[in-house]
């Protein structure tokens, strides 16, 4: 794939003007992101967005990388505050397929660019690589983006190698919605592609939605749980869930729980890009190395 | 002889048969659910078997919960119906469940410790508050059944709107409450059914003590008093007990709508006559009914079963029942006395023009000028760096708010004047809900987001409901309470539908939810100009029809003898009200109550003639909507609160106020 | 019917000759709502074992007076005595065993059988939780027979004709076993035949069982015919308290109704008839 040619075509199609005029290239690009995933990538590339949707919830869902204080809250993703965005005078606004319905309004404020990690292809990690390069180029951090991806690749390889010395069990990845329902992550989700990359088997092979998860009752999870699997629960877990689980016979009698083959991970953005994928890979290596022979 | 035979026949109680049939059906479906795992279920547990665990700790407790909740809700409904002598009473229609729900939402957000202390207590406080509010609203003795239930549903509506605001503002945190709010019976162990069983047994035993006093209550308060009973106390205890039953269920499994209305109705229709038999058979029928419904949902929804909220399904089945009951309910009060008298003021043409134009104009400017900066500080246009853009951003929203507000206001004037009903308005009688249903249809089945297609579908929906209202009222002559109650039943149906759709996780339902709450967020220059042009056109054409309107108010006969083509005139005016509602609903949602408030404001100012009322209402509607929109934009900055919800939060208490004043005035 | 009535009336005339004591009496009773005086009674006593009629224009305080006696009015100043004991000293249940009250229009009793309605009259005796005893059943049956509605006992009250329904309610009052019946316009919704039927029943019961009856009536002729005594009210005050004959002769009659009323002798020879000039 020739990246340069693609960019040329895009530039001709009227995308950011500074990219074609190096004279503008000094000051950092002011980007507003309607998506956490793009934001985490931009922070990693050292061009944090000036505005981000629901920034006050970042610590609950993403945590890492830390969000700089300078980032302004632009409201909820589907009803971002146009006035705030306008006053931030961004050079570029990043949307996703989910928020791209706002494009007509956003376009009046600044050029809009859609990144799609989640699409019909169901290969979010691959897409994330592609979109990272795209973001790097848009943010005038192409070199950093390439370097970051190389480092990521290297780290994935390292992790895979270190895990290959163990007998790695299948895992199931869930978030609790309430006491009785979980989101279980599977096919065409980011976690799935990370598991694939690391050569780990996902115990949940049943259908998932567009975003790569299925919302099911706890009993459904129990039904499709191989006995040797390990269960990984992501924070945030609501306070009222834990005591209920402690009493639930279905939960307690699940082999994975009886054998204590489960753990709670700190929040990892399930709809993230490469930084979240890496964060997840590190966490799972840490867990598996400590818990399997 | 024949008459006698019929009478004896009507005395036989066929409720036992009904219960048996329902239970057999439910048991059959239950068997279908359990049969595949029967062998493992009865075998000794030696090794871990998933299906066995699920059958033992999910399927069976869920069935038990359904049986118990159904019984408790129906007993609650039956107690309320007997104590209040009101066939329409139930935990749903008196707002008890909605109150409990809101209290739980509030507590889980602001005082989680309270929930940890006692869910039941929190729910009970909410339920009792709602019930208390309803009784305070319609405190008059011998209040008509419809009015009481109207009060209840209005309170429900209000609490529901408040819960929605909280849910929207905290969506990620309340994800669970969202599922729960619609009532999910899904279980992971026996704790909930076991918990329910002892609490409910106590309350049911207490209910048994009330049987005889309740029978006495059937003789009327005076006769009951002269028999040495104290009707006030009996009623108080019964209502308290009924509320207790309902909130215990609500706090365990969420809002299961309309079972408490359906079961006592069925019991009565089947021939349960005396207090004791009504109580017993209602309880059993409700138990069987919920058992059957829930088993059927589980059977057909398969692995999705735990997600389809049973409460939404029962509401979907139950709210049409309310409409049917309403049609059957002949024991309504006499037609209401005319609209309350207000001072009639005469204003000069200039004064009227000033009153009509000045407030919306000033508010329009103010709402564009006043805003907040990125850090949240208040600001008068200057500090905002991109002032040119700000103007461009705020203008379409403010203008479409104004246009939508005035459209709804005029539609309200038309409906109120044509039906002679001061509580009519597009939102209250369900026309807005109809428009919303049309939108839902467009989104799900035509998959179109073209403005034109949307307005078309919304209009068709609005007309359909309008037609239904005219049809339902053709005999009773647009009786205020009946009309409003029907409208609110439509809203409940809509709520249930959208609740059920959202639970499936369909992203399109998010769009609907947003429309439901009503926002000018999506206003663009083109949509705004369409709205403004249609507002102006419709305003002019309605003003041209003012004579028709005033003639029609005299009644069909006099109007006809004055040479007004009555049916055509009515049809055209209703049609215009429908169009206005449909156009406005896109921007403000179905529950703004602007169409209710604005005509009243105009009348209070002394504009009683049609022309003046239309102009001033339009002005008031526009002003209110501009204000609501402004609060929505800056109240929780940088997040947005839908303007429709803001005006609902103001409008519902207004509706309650009207309702209570009617009570006091009569 | 009318013949039996006359015979019965004649038979009992001398039995009841002795001066009866008072079943209820009012002294300085005043009820006001806001500025409006509903009732203002210096002194009156209702004789025991007799039928006393209350007449007067709409809003003259008849129903209010009855409600005071039935203990249905919350705030009363002055002294109301019932069976020799002040009203407020009575226990609610005790009072219910002594005084039965039939409100002006009894509500529809959804899905209730006549027998069940009558049995509810036993409530003051067995209370909310007590057993429905053999005696209660007997009293219920006796009341059904007394009021001549045994054959209707398994019908739904709501399916009865107006007169039958009124009799069913009276049966309920009978089952209550009270010494005193208070009835608020029990015949206002009935046709003339049923009016006679109900009032005959009331009078006969009074005689047979020595019951005291206080009854609000609109029709002065009916009152004259069935009451031992008539109390006339106007604007909350008692303006006459006399036997029917005395009252009909008196010029007070015009004052009661505020229109000229004349009296002629009954063509049947007994009593008089009134008519509007």
pLDDT tens track for A61-104: 888 888 898 899 998 877 888 888 888 889 999 998 878 878 88
Q: Is pLDDT of A107 > 80? A: yes
- Is A49 an interface residue toward B (CB < 8 Å)? no
Helical (H) or strand (E) element with B578: helix B566-588
**Are A79 and B116 in contact (CB < 8 Å)?**
no
Q: pLDDT higher for B264 or B607?
A: B264
> Could you tell me the two tokens for C148?
């001549």
Residues 6+ apart with CB under 8 A from A78: A98, A99, A101, A102, B510, B514
Rounded mean pLDDT, B211-228? 84
Cis preceding-peptide flag for C113 (omega within 30 of 0): no
How many independent structural domains does chain C possess? 1
- Helix and strand element counts for chain B (H, E): 31, 2
* Contact yes or no for B417/B553 (Cβ under 8 A): yes
The C-alpha atoms of residue A1 and residue B520 are separated, in whole angstroms, by 44
CATH number at residue C147: 3.40.50.300
C270 belongs to a structural domain:
yes
Decide if B374 contacts A88 (C-beta within 8 A).
Answer: yes
Nearest to A238 among B54, B176, B394 (CB): B176
DSSP state, residue B338: P
B180 Cα to chain A: minimum distance (Å):
9
CB contact under 8 A, B7 and C129: no
pLDDT in tens, B468-517: 877 776 665 566 666 777 777 777 777 777 666 666 556 666 667 667 76
- pLDDT at position A49: 93
Mutation pick from C98, C113, C118, C120 vs chain B, by most beta carbons of B within 10 Å, is C120
Distance from CA of B406 to the nearest CA of A (A): 25
Answer left, alpha or beta for residue C185, where phi above 0 means left and psi between -120 and 50 means alpha. left
- What single string gives the DSSP state of each residue in A13-46? TT--SGGG-GGGGSSPP-EEES-HHHHHHHHHTT
User: Which residues, including other chains, have CB under 8 Å from residue B528's CB and lie 6 or more apart?
Assistant: B396, B399, B400, B403
| H-type alpha helices, B254-274 | 259-270
**The predicted structure's pLDDT at residue B7:** 41
C-alpha distances in Å from residue B197, one per residue of A250, B628, C166: 21, 47, 45
- Put simply, the answer to whether C102 touches B228 (Cβ < 8 Å) is no
Please return the burial class of C159, using the count of CB atoms within 10 Å of its CB with bins 0-12, 13-18 and 19+: middle
Q: How many CA atoms lie within 13 A of C221 on its CB side?
A: 15
Q: C112 CB contacts (<8 Å, ≥6 apart)?
A: B215, B218, B273, B274, C156, C157, C158
Query: Can you tell me the ipTM of this complex?
Result: 0.79
Mean pLDDT of B516-529: 78
C103: domain range?
Answer: 21-276
**What strand order describes the sheet that includes C77-82?**
C36-47, C22-33, C77-82, C85-86
Q: How many Å apart are CA B599 and CA B604, to the nearest integer?
A: 9
* DSSP reduced 3-state for C71: coil
pLDDT digits (tens, 9 = 90+) for B400-438: 999 999 999 999 999 888 877 777 888 877 888 888 888
Taking the CA of residue C172 as centre, how many other CA atoms within 13 Å lie in the half-sphere pointing to its CB? 32
Preferred mutation among A76, A207, A217 to probe B, highest tally of B CBs within 10 A = A217
- Share above pLDDT 90 across residues of chain B, in percent, rounded to a whole number: 13
Three-state SS across B116-171?
Answer: HHCHHHHHHHHHHHHHHHHHHHCCCCCCCHHHHHHHHHHHHHHHHHHHHHHHHHCC
Distance CA C206, CA B138 (A): 42
Cis bond upstream, residue A65 (ω within 30):
yes
**CATH number for the segment(s) A3-115:** 3.40.50.1980
C125 CB within 8 Å of a chain B CB = no
What is the structure's pLDDT at B385? 53
**Residues B220, C111: C-beta atoms closer than 8 Å:** no
Helix axes A190-198, A274-291, angle to 10 degrees: 50
Buried/exposed code over C213-225 (b: 16+ C-beta within 10 A; e: otherwise): bbbbbebbbbbbb
Comparing B20-24, B89-93, B513-517, the range with the smallest average pLDDT is B513-517
Q: Say whether C70 and B226 touch across the interface (CB within 8 A).
A: yes
Choose between B459 and B173: higher pLDDT: B459
Q: DSSP letter string over A203-250? A: S--S---TTSEEEEEHHHHHHT--TT-EEEEESP--TTHHHHHHH-HH
Name the burial class of residue C126, with classes exposed (0-12), middle (13-18) and buried (19+) by CB atoms within 10 angstroms of its CB. middle
Mean of the pLDDT values across residues C183-194? 84
Provide the token pair at B444. Answer: 């799900």
Query: Touching check for B389 and chain A: CB below 8 Å?
Result: yes
Convert the pLDDT of each residue in B152-204 to its tens digit: 877 877 787 777 667 666 654 434 444 445 567 877 788 889 989 999 999 99
Comparing B181 with C67, which gets the higher pLDDT?
Answer: C67
Q: Does A82 touch chain B (CB under 8 A)?
A: yes
pLDDT tens digits for range A131-171 = 999 999 998 888 999 999 999 999 999 999 988 888 888 89
Take residue C242 and report the two structure tokens written for it: 């006399």
Q: Which of B50, B115, B510 is nearest residue A222 as measured by Cβ atoms?
A: B50
Query: Is the bond into B79 cis (omega within 30 degrees of 0)?
Result: no
Per-residue pLDDT band for B639 (boundaries 50, 70, 90) equals: confident
Nearest by CB to B53, which of A109, A177, A249?
Answer: A249
Q: Is B142 on the interface with C (CB under 8 A)?
A: no
- C-alpha to C-alpha distance for A61 and A265, rounded to whole angstroms: 12
Q: Which of A185-189, C73-77, C111-115 has the lowest mean pLDDT?
A: C73-77
Neighbours of chain B (3+ CB pairs under 8 A): A, C
Query: Which tens digit of pLDDT belongs to each residue from B549-590?
Result: 887 777 766 777 777 777 788 888 888 888 888 888 877 777
Query: Nearest CB to B226: which of C99, C155, C159?
Result: C99
Per-chain mean pLDDT for chain B: 79
CATH number of A165-291: 3.40.50.1980
Whether A244 has its CB under 8 Å from any CB of chain B: the answer is: yes
Q: How far apart are CA A213 and CA A204, in angstroms?
A: 10
What pLDDT is stored for residue B662 in this prediction?
62
What crossing angle do the helices spanning B387-419 and B610-634 adopt, rounded to 10°?
140
> How far is CA B516 from each of CA B469, B585, B645, rounded to the nearest angstrom?
21, 9, 9
Give the residue carrying structure tokens 């009786």: B479
The mean pLDDT of B430-450, rounded to a whole number, is: 77
* Residues on chain A touching B58 (C-beta within 8 angstroms): 217-219, 250
Domains and CATH numbers, chain B: 2-26+59-324 (1.10.3470.10), 349-665 (1.10.3470.10)
Location of each CATH 3.40.50.1980 domain in chain A? 3-115, 165-291
């Amino acid at each position: 794939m020739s990246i340069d040619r693609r960019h040329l075509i895009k530039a001709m199609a009227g995308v950011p003007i500074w990219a074609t005029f190096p004279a503008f290239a000094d000051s950092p690009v002011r980007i507003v992101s309607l998506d956490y995933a793009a934001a985490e990538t931009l922070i990693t590339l050292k061009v944090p967005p000036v505005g981000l949707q629901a920034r006050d919830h970042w610590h609950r869902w993403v945590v890492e990388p830390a969000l700089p204080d300078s980032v302004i809250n632009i409201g909820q993703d589907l009803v971002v505050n146009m006035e705030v965005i306008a006053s931030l005078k961004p050079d570029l606004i990043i949307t996703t397929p989910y928020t791209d319905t706002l494009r007509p309004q956003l376009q009046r404020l600044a050029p809009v660019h859609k990144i799609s990690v989640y699409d019909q292809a169901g290969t979010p990690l691959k897409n994330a690589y592609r979109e990272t390069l795209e973001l790097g180029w848009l943010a005038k951090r192409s070199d950093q983006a390439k370097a970051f991806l190389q480092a990521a690749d290297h780290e994935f390889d390292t992790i895979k190698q270190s895990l290959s010395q163990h007998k790695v069990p299948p895992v199931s990845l869930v978030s609790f919605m309430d006491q009785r329902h979980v989101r279980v992550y599977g096919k065409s989700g980011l976690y799935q592609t990370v598991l694939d990359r690391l050569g780990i088997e996902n115990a949940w092979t049943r259908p998932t939605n567009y975003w790569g998860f299925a919302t099911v009752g706890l009993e459904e999870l129990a039904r499709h749980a191989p006995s040797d699997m390990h269960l990984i629960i992501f924070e945030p877990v609501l306070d009222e869930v834990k005591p209920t689980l402690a009493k639930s016979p279905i939960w307690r009698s699940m082999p994975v729980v009886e054998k204590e083959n489960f753990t709670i991970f700190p929040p990892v953005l399930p709809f993230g890009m490469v930084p979240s994928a890496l964060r997840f890979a590190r966490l799972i290596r840490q867990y598996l190395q400590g818990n399997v022979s | 002889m024949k008459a006698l035979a019929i009478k004896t026949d009507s005395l036989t109680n066929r409720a036992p048969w009904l219960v048996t049939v329902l239970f057999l059906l439910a048991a059959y479906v239950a068997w279908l659910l359990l049969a595949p795992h029967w062998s493992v279920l009865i075998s000794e547990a030696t090794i871990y078997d998933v299906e066995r665990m699920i059958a033992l700790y999910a399927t069976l407790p869920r069935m038990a919960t359904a049986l118990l909740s159904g019984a408790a809700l129906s007993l609650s409904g039956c107690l309320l119906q007997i104590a209040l002598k009101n066939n329409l009473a139930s935990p749903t229609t008196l707002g008890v469940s909605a109150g409990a729900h809101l209290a739980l939402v509030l507590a889980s957000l602001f005082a989680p410790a309270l929930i940890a202390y006692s869910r039941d207590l929190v729910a009970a406080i909410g339920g009792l508050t709602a019930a208390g509010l309803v009784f305070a609203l319609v405190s008059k003795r011998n209040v008509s059944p419809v009015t009481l239930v109207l009060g209840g549903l209005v309170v429900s509506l209000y609490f529901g709107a408040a819960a929605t605001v909280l849910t929207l503002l905290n969506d990620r945190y309340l994800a669970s409450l969202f599922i729960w709010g619609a009532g999910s019976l899904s279980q992971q162990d026996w704790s909930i059914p076991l918990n329910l069983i002892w609490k409910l047994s106590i309350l049911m035993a207490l209910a048994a003590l009330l049987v005889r006093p309740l029978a006495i209550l059937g003789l009327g308060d005076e006769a009951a008093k002269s028999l040495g009973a104290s009707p006030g106390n009996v009623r108080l205890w019964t209502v308290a007990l009924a509320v207790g039953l309902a909130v215990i269920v609500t706090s365990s499994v969420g809002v299961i709508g309309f079972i408490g209305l359906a079961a006592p109705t069925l019991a009565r229709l089947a021939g349960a006559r005396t207090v004791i038999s009504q109580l017993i058979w209602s309880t059993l029928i409700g138990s069987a009914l919920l058992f059957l419904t829930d088993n059927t949902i589980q059977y057909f929804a398969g692995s999705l079963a735990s997600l389809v909220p049973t409460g939404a399904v029962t509401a979907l089945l139950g709210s049409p029942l309310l409409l049917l009951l309403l049609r059957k309910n002949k024991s309504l009060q006499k037609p209401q006395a005319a609209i309350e008298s207000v001072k009639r003021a005469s204003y000069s043409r200039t004064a009227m023009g000033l009153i009509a134009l000045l407030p919306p104009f000033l508010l329009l400017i103010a709402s564009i000028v006043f805003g907040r900066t990125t850090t949240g500080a208040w600001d008068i246009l200057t500090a905002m760096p991109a002032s040119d853009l700000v103007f461009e951003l705020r203008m379409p929203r403010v203008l479409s708010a104004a246009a939508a507000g005035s459209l709804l206001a005029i539609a309200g004037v038309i409906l109120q004047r044509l039906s002679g009903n001061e509580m009519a308005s597009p939102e209250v009688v369900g026309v807005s809900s109809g428009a919303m249903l049309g939108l839902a249809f467009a989104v799900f089945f035509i998959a179109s987001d073209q403005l034109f297609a949307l307005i078309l579908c919304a209009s068709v929906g609005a007309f359909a409901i309008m037609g239904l209202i005219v049809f339902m009222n053709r005999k009773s002559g647009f009786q205020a309470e009946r009309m409003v109650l029907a409208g609110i039943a439509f809203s409940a149906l809509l709520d249930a539908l959208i609740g059920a759709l959202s639970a499936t996780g369909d992203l399109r339902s998010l769009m609907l939810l947003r429309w439901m709450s009503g926002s000018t967020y999506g206003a663009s220059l083109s949509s705004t100009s369409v709205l403004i042009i249609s507002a102006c056109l419709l305003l002019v054409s309605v003003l041209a029809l003012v004579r028709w309107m005033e003639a029609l108010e005299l009644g069909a006969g006099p109007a006809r003898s004055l040479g007004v083509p009555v049916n055509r005139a009515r049809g055209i005016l209703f049609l215009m009200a429908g169009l206005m509602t449909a156009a406005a609903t896109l921007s403000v949602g179905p529950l703004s109550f602007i169409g209710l408030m604005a005509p009243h404001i105009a009348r209070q100012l002394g504009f009683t003639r049609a022309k003046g009322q239309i102009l001033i209402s339009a002005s008031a509607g526009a002003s209110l909507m501009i204000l609501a929109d402004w609060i929505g934009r800056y109240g929780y900055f940088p997040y947005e609160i839908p303007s429709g919800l803001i005006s609902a939060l103001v409008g519902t208490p207004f509706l309650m106020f009207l309702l209570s004043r009617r009570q006091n005035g009569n | 019917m009318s013949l039996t009535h006359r015979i019965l009336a004649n038979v009992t005339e001398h039995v009841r000759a002795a001066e009866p004591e008072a079943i209820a009496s009012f002294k300085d009773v005043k009820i006001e709502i806001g500025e409006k005086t509903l009732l203002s009674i210096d002194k009156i006593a209702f004789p025991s074992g007799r039928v006393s009629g209350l007449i007067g224009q709409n809003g003259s305080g008849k129903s209010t007076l009855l409600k005071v006696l039935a203990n249905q009015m919350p705030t009363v100043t002055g002294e109301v005595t019932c069976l020799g004991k002040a009203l407020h000293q009575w226990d609610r249940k005790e009072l219910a065993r002594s005084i039965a009250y039939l409100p002006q229009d009894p509500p529809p009793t959804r899905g209730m059988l006549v027998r069940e309605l009558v049995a509810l009259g036993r409530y003051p005796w067995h209370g909310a939780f007590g057993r429905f005893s053999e005696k209660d059943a007997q009293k219920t049956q006796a009341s059904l027979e007394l009021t001549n509605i045994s054959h209707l006992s398994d019908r739904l009250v709501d399916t009865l004709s107006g007169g039958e329904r009124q009799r069913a309610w009276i049966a309920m009052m009978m089952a209550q076993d009270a010494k005193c019946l208070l009835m608020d316009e029990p015949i206002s919704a009935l046709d003339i035949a049923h009016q006679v039927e109900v009032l005959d029943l009331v009078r006969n019961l009074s005689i047979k069982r020595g019951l005291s009856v206080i009854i609000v009536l609109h029709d002065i002729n009916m009152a004259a015919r069935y009451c031992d005594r008539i109390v006339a009210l106007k604007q909350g005050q008692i303006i006459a308290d006399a036997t029917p004959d005395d009252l009909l002769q008196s010029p007070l009659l015009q004052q009661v109704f505020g229109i000229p009323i004349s009296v002629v002798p009954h063509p049947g020879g007994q009593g008089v008839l009134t008519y509007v000039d």
